[in-house]
Every structure is written in structure tokens, then in C-alpha cells.
Amino acid sequence: MPEVKLSNSFSPGHGALEHAMDAIAAFFAGTRRVLFIPYAASDPDGYAEATREILGRLGVQVSSAHRAASPLAALDQADAVFVGGGNAFRLLQAVRRNGLLAAIGSRSRTGMPYLGVSAGANLACPTIRTTNDMPIVQPASLSALGVIPFQVNPHYPAAGPLRTARDRRLGEFLEENDVPVLGLCEGSWLHVSAARATAGGTAGGRVLTRGCPPGDVQPGDDLSALLRSRPRYDSPAR
């Protein structure tokens, strides 16, 4: 089950995904057909076309789920899936309605490579409760793919008052839910392969866990212990 979760598509001074292209090229090595999931975006056509151009430089053929006559059939024909960023609530509602949530989860658990950016990283978690997005739509449930047993918070601030404010918000989440949260700063990502998870990129992040001081994360750190998490939701701290 190879996976990569990126905090962001754009980093200062770089084009879309440019900061992570070496990692993406390695991730998609040997992959011919990728199904792109653009439902989080307000302009899925433009997002899909840009993604097709970027991944095309790697020799990868990209089809977009929103243009497929049958998104489920398109997934069956794909070697890997790329879930793009945008609004996590809109993304979750769409993949629930068209059956892709269960289908992607099933394929990912049996070895299909999964690349998720921002909202796509949120979707890989058991729930999307640690997204930064406004709930512009109301999915039937906040439960997501659960291909990793912990939460991700993309766009995690690098330092200063914004980090303090984010930690406060994530602390409120931990008051009600007993599950680690990995905050990924801009320019960072998480690579998961089998039983190993590694921080990557040019920036780090932080792991927040109920009852423990936050732990800073640096690129290259082994985060495999997070894969052994046993999440408990709606479990208020006593």
C-alpha cells in the first residue's frame, strides 16, 4: 500500500507540485495510468488539465474521474490514484455519492498507490475532522478512507502565533478524540510503504497526541509508530 500525503500543491517560488516532483516521479515509477480525483476543487476541469500536463512529463497517462462515464470503471482501469486538494467536505461528499470512497479504500488496501494532496491527505485518514476547510457542504458522515490509522492536518504553520492558534484548535480535537494528529508544514509530505512511514520534503511538522507534549518532526524522521495507532473517536478526555 504505497502512499504519499502532501501538505500542499504550491510552495513559494515553485509551480504546482514542483517542490515534490522528484518524490512524485519515484512514487509513480512504473505506473502508466493514474485516475485523478478533482472533486475538492471549484474548477475540476482546469485542475484536471493542469494535472494531466504535469504528470504527462513523467510519462504518466492521467484520466479524471469527473469526466468518466463510470468513475468506478475508470478506477478499475487505473494503476494508481491521485486525490487533489481543495475543500475536504466537498471531496468527501462527492466520493461517497459515486461509490469511489469504498472502492478507493479497497484498492488502496490491496496495494494500489495513493497520492493525496491537502484535502486528498485528509481523505486518507479515518475521518476528515482535522481539515482546515469550511464545511461548505454536509456529507452524510465525516468518516473517510481510513487507509492510515491517524489524522493529518495539512498546511500546518511553521512557527509563531499561527502555530499556537493551530495547536489550540487541534488540542480541542484531542479533548474529544484519542488519536494522533500529524501536522504537515508547507513543503512537507508523508511517505508510507508497508509498515514504514517517513517524513519527507523541505519542511517538517509536528505530532500532537492526547496527554503528551507535541513532538517536532524533521524531514527523514521515521514515523512508523503512527501506523500502530488505535484511534478512538468521540472519546472525551476524563
Amino acid at site 236: P
The residue from 9, 64, 118, 188 that is catalytic is: 118
Residue 164, helix vs strand vs coil: helix
Residue 193, helix vs strand vs coil: strand
Q: How far apart are CA 156 and CA 29, in angstroms?
A: 29
CA-nearest of 27, 37, 84, 91 to 60 is 27
The residue from 7, 19, 155, 178 that is catalytic is: 155
* Cβ pair 232, 177 in contact under 8 A: yes
* 108 counts as catalytic: no
* 216 counts as catalytic: no
* 118 counts as catalytic: yes
Return the sign of the alpha-carbon dihedral for residues 192, 198, 203, 207: positive
The residue from 133, 167, 178, 191 that is catalytic is: 133
- Catalytic residue positions, numbered: 118, 133, 155
